[in-house]
Amino acid sequence: MTVSQEVKIGKVVNYYSRISVAAVEVTGGCLKKGDTVRFMGANTDFTQMVESMEIEKKPVEKAEKGESVGIKVKDRVRPNDLVFKVS
């Protein structure tokens, strides 16, 4: 059995409830479409695959450290929730 590892990749800076999109500031590493991420905070804890990412309303395949990216999320997130990449 393999143990999944989680690496902190960023934090939520905003959440747009109407379109279910989290604005995430990438603070470490690189985030790619198809990666599995975990959102964690005081009232948040869920894992999902990154299926849709945008930077300034343009679809992108990956986001690097220092970029802010919009990620379509399946559940509500809150500012300052942490984002981990699950491997």
CATH number at residue 48: 2.40.30.10
Would 72 be classed as within a structural domain?
yes
Asked whether residue 1 is domain-assigned, the answer is no
Which pTM value belongs to this model? 0.92
Position 2 confidence tier, pLDDT thresholds 50, 70, 90:
low
pLDDT at position 87 over 70: yes
**Mind listing the pLDDT tens digit for each residue in 52-61?**
999 999 999 9
Q: For position 4, what pLDDT does the model report? A: 75
Count of beta carbons in the 10 Å neighbourhood of residue 69 = 22
Q: What domain range includes position 65?
A: 6-86
With 70 as the cut, is the pLDDT of residue 1 above it? no
Give me the number of domains the chain comprises.
1
Assess contact for 24 and 12: CB atoms under 8 A. yes
Report yes or no on 12 lying in a domain: yes
Q: Which residues contact 56 (CB under 8 A, 6 or more apart)?
A: none
Q: Are the beta carbons of 87 and 5 closer than 8 angstroms?
A: yes
- DSSP E strands in the chain: the ranges are 6-16, 21-26, 30-32, 36-40, 45-49, 53-55, 58-59, 62-64, 68-72, 82-86
Digit-coded pLDDT (tens) for 30-86: 999 999 999 999 999 999 999 999 999 999 999 999 999 999 999 999 999 999 999
